[in-house]
Structure 1
Amino acid sequence: MSFTRLTALACAALACIAAAPPAASAPGANPVKAGVDAWGRKDFTGAVRAWRPLADKGDADAQFNMGQAYKLGRGVPADLKIAQSWYQKAAQQGHDQAQANLGLLLFQNGKQFDAMPWIRKAADRGDARAQYVLGTAMFNGDFVPQDRARAYALMTRASAQGLPPAANNLAQMDKHMAQADKTRGIALARQMEAAAKQPNPAAMARADLPRAGSVLKPAEPVKPKPAPAPAAKAATKAPQPAAAPAAGGRWQVQLGAYNSPDAARAQWSKLGKLSALSGFTPSYQPAGKFTRLRVGPIASKSAADGVCAAAKAAGQACFPVAP
């Protein structure tokens, strides 16, 4: 059962972006904070003038703020492509709100498959908009494997944070879900709530830096802290070699769901060049208003896991599909 399609949901969630004021980095006399103050006075041109040089130098908060300016058309002409580019720069540095806004913007623009990794990151950190979209995707089985218990948990958390459309979807889930899935979902939601209350070392390192939802008051001067040293990246495990296509194999892997068969074929024209996917045959399967892109044939689940591991190592999301 698919109670609401994701495109409409993403548009509703994306509306929350416009309401988010810009973020200030280290408090005190600095250009990012000065730009936030200018924004608060509705001097949008002055705010952009303060942020742009910092954004060009790689300041994540300034980059996020530039994305907000281009998204809203304040101080600069509205341009969603430029807004997306600034969100992406900040998101790649781990900026929470930029990751959420980037995922939602990609989703609204029909790039749902590209959006889901960013939406997952934001949902894992408790962003209600991302939980709302990811929960619906998991309930419908679009763009991600279907998991109705986790979908119920995500929608519960989004609703608890005051997102009205989440409450509506949760009510519909209650009508159509098995009690066992709801019971598991409630338990997962409690775990998520408990985890959200635990101290987050990464967040604590920047606890004095207000994010998109808050702006420092001028009466609260605090000495800026030095920027923390970049954390060492954990060593990544080398992926297993991908399996070759197996004649007569019944397993497949799914590489995404798109707005039309033409969009799915266009994506395959790009993905088919990856060595991990070379030689496989694509199939385009209708799923409501969407078309799922799957490839095969693959002999077994372990072989499908190998294909996905190699695809993911190349930056392509992927999951096995049972016969």
Structure 2
Amino acid sequence: MFGKMLKRSKSTTGSRKPDFRRGLAAFEAEDYAAAVADWMPLAERGDAEAQYRIGQLYARGQGVVRDFGDAAHWFRKAAEQGHRDAQFSLALCYANGEGAAQDNALPVRWYKTVSKASPPTADANLALLYPNGLGIAPDIAQAVHWYRLAAEAGHPEAQHHMGLLHAFGQGVAQDHAVAADWYRRSAEAGYAVAQHALASLYANGQGVERDIGQAIAWYGRAAEQGFANAQLALAVIHEHGTGVEPDPARAAEFYRQAAEQGHPVAQVNLGLLYARGHGVPKDYRETLKWCRLSAEKGNVNAQFNLGLIYSNGLAGAPDYAEAAVWYRKAAMQGNVGAQVNLGLMLVHGWGGRPDLVEGVDWLRKAAAQGHTGAMTNLGALYASPDSKAHNPLQAYVWYIMAAAGTQPGPEREGLEAKAHELGNQLTSEDRHKAQVIMEDWKKNPKLVANA
């Protein structure tokens, strides 16, 4: 007996003859219990399509208790009869290890508790709910086997997955040429994801000879189907003139197509075109609009640019409080520019009360990423006698490190002169301490930055 029914349809009876089409009509009407009533007997008699449909119901928890173990059981029965969609679905189960890690699932916890008191009862009930186990463990070899069968039978998604496996060397030897062959089969069948993948191989010369014309052609076919990543790729190509003449207006068109689908990178890039007036009229309000949409999805570049817009008053009056909000979001994701700008805002109290401790912490985090501007600002902060952070030894350290990271020229010479002046004021013991700090910095900048 397989998974427990969630509900019984009032329209079904135990005596009626199962009918696949009636089950399909019930499924389309979202009467999943009625669909199960018609499809399960057919599946048990060996009907491959019914077996596949029952597998889908178990995978989705429609009309039955959701269980990937049972889903895989029925997918396998259909797959072994050559049902290509079932072969692909079974491959997905093995590739993803659907439902395998369920040690904390409620039925498992219940089973572990009840089995101590009455093992037979616990086993019987567990078998009733999950006759084929709680899921299916990952098995890349099995995944490759079933993907290949479905792909060779002409399943476009399976062909794409075979391309992915070869492109990344999962379960098979990494081979971009073989990946390109599988992608091509899928792409020629009209599968947009594979068209994009094949285009990317042409753009990068992986497994095929680099050919921007072919890349644009395949990106174009995917973009025509509304595939946002392909629209983004075409936008980047036309913006930067990769293999074609730069065309900002064409770039803006493709960015807009992807942006309107909610693609965060396309949104921020479209916003930046408005900021520069490339291909579109210069309009910081549009920049603000598109960057905000992207930033709200967590795009770090958009968050940083929102900080710039608000702090510089590019789309209205400056708003340091709002700028700090977005700089902080970007800084927490490791954006070095946001870390510097947020640090300076906090140190100087722009838009609020100064917070020297947090401000210095953000500047140090930026310095740990090699940002010489952050190092220079730390040097100046520690060197100033009026600063609460006044510390000549630290100022000496940061000026030296800033100079070391700056190209030869007047700026570097100025940093070296400041360091030399500070060094003359330090004791030999302090200069030794500074040397130790700098040696430690070379070994682990993040550790020293947080010290």
Q: Which bin holds the TM-score, normalised by the shorter protein? A: 0.3 to 0.5
Which structure has the larger Rg?
Answer: 2
Q: Larger % of helix: which?
A: 2
TM-score using structure 1 length:
0.46
Q: Larger % of strand: which?
A: 1
TM-score using structure 2 length:
0.33
